[in-house]
Structure 1
């Protein structure tokens, strides 16, 4: 029983780390004021800029992002490269996890999703689950579900940083306004700020995506306050979204975007460094 519980805890923690990791170009870079027309003289309304930004990001199949999430006493920081089409794939690194003021030993953990297979590099569990091999392998459609992880959970995590979906949600705002010009990582941008009710934000999404995104707002958020920095090609370079409920802040998500449309290559870890934990998951979580 003790051995079974130890494995169950390790697999769940590894899967959870991989999920946290999944929370983290050639289309942009002119540096022109995105609030202007092609001649640089006509300032577009802020709500029109959000629509154009949503449309523009929807054309990008790939992007790179740095992500920071604060939720109650927990802070997660990570980064990754994401390929949305033709099939979802990503590589991600977990940089920091803090809970109630304590730093957890998760920095440097990595995750790869490719062909519905999730690879997680969680050093503290390697000896327990894979005989010392640094990478864990979970087939998302099979053993992963027994560990409480399925592809829908992972894709919903990616939706939280998907720039097309995020900017589309913001188009439901009725009070967005232009703040002014600022630089983000050396790129000239225009900053916009506003709020949107969660109901109006979700209404902008298709039903399938709506349900995935809804999972990330189970904290009771009723309204989202946001700031978005848009470059000269109507691409977002930075996004800060703060969930609020009853006048209090429930969570904050900060994303830095770059390299829209750049080639993203996702490769599995070397085979001799991977331990397939599918059998262990089936045995220890399935009651064997």
Structure 2
């Protein structure tokens, strides 16, 4: 049913973008920072690795941040959407944000901007008073992403299962891990100096393939990513049909990543997005909505006599 599809794909998109992981290699993304500019960056390899190692080490001590981002993805992964909010990734991902665009916002009755809370792989979405009026006053819809991915797989819908899994896998990547992933690119280069929102930054870019991720240390990355984390990244890439990630990172004068842009091609189509960070180590406190205001997605399907 279309209603359920919009909800699930919308959540998949939120999960994917919220996880701030992406990759890719389409020509449009290369042209956005200038395909030739990578080779003309002028930074020496040793200096580039040192700069990224410093940023990775600094970010490894960070536990939370404010963020905003945009994503363009196939419909099965949420479509075109934006979001902003705060998140903490230690010990597990917790966030509160507002999303606009994409399948979730286009769900019948949903507001143009949807408030989302993420706690322990459960997403709570405020679907608004119009939705609540038809659901006994319950304006929040909850979804256990692991459960939905498992049921989608059992129901013979691998595309939907992959979309949900893609979002869950992406949440394993905090900014420090993104730095580690970029360090594993043998062709990483400095693009040059750029000013972003009044902040002076250095722009670095690289492409990471599955072979690169498996190859091991390319400049201290094993100190930033555990063997298990590397295995998770490789497994996620293979599952999603990703052959390579293009990653761009902008680092400020304090050696902190203030912007990450990634794009990649999947079996469902190209995915690309950009995330900007600020206010590192900000306080993040997220509570689940009151139980009597929440409708579980699986209950909704059961009430409608539908299957995922």
TM normalised by structure 2 equals 0.66
Taking the aligned partners of 1:216 and 1:140, their CA distance within structure 2 comes to 19
* DSSP 3-state at the match of 1:175: coil
| Residue number in structure 2 paired with 1:165 | 177
User: Per-residue CA shift, 1:191-229, capped at 9, x if unaligned?
Assistant: 122333243146564335643575367564433333211
Aligned length: 255
Distance 1:116 1:125, change over 3 A: farther
| Residue number in structure 2 paired with 1:18 | 11
1:82 counterpart = 2:87: yes
* DSSP 3-state at the match of 1:269: coil
| Residue number in structure 2 paired with 1:54 | 56
| Larger proportion of helix | 2
* DSSP 3-state at the match of 1:109: strand
1:268 counterpart = 2:288: yes
The 8 Å contact of residues 222 and 244 in structure 1, kept in 2 or not, is answered as yes
1:193 counterpart = 2:205: yes
User: Per-residue CA shift, 1:223-274, capped at 9, x if unaligned?
Assistant: 33332110122111111223369xxx94322111112111111122244532
Taking the aligned partners of 1:92 and 1:132, their CA distance within structure 2 comes to 22
1:241 counterpart = 2:243: no
The alignment's C-alpha RMSD in Å is 3.9
The 8 Å contact of residues 138 and 295 in structure 2, kept in 1 or not, is answered as yes
Taking the aligned partners of 2:72 and 2:145, their CA distance within structure 1 comes to 27
* DSSP 3-state at the match of 1:130: coil
| Residue number in structure 2 paired with 1:40 | none
| Residue number in structure 2 paired with 1:131 | 136
* DSSP 3-state at the match of 1:60: coil
Distance 1:153 1:13, change over 3 A: same
Distance 1:54 1:220, change over 3 A: same
The 8 Å contact of residues 21 and 92 in structure 1, kept in 2 or not, is answered as no
The 8 Å contact of residues 139 and 294 in structure 2, kept in 1 or not, is answered as yes
The 8 Å contact of residues 204 and 248 in structure 2, kept in 1 or not, is answered as yes
User: Per-residue CA shift, 1:13-34, capped at 9, x if unaligned?
Assistant: 324323322322xxxxxxxxxx
Taking the aligned partners of 1:216 and 1:97, their CA distance within structure 2 comes to 23
Taking the aligned partners of 1:200 and 1:173, their CA distance within structure 2 comes to 6
Deviation, 1:122, is: 3.0
The 8 Å contact of residues 243 and 252 in structure 1, kept in 2 or not, is answered as yes
Distance 1:215 1:94, change over 3 A: farther
Gaps of 5+ in 2: 19-44, 154-160
Gaps of 5+ in 1: 1-5, 25-42
Distance 1:271 1:72, change over 3 A: closer
TM normalised by structure 1 equals 0.70
Taking the aligned partners of 1:282 and 1:212, their CA distance within structure 2 comes to 35
| Residue number in structure 2 paired with 1:254 | 274
Taking the aligned partners of 1:179 and 1:208, their CA distance within structure 2 comes to 28
| Larger proportion of strand | 1
Taking the aligned partners of 1:129 and 1:198, their CA distance within structure 2 comes to 47
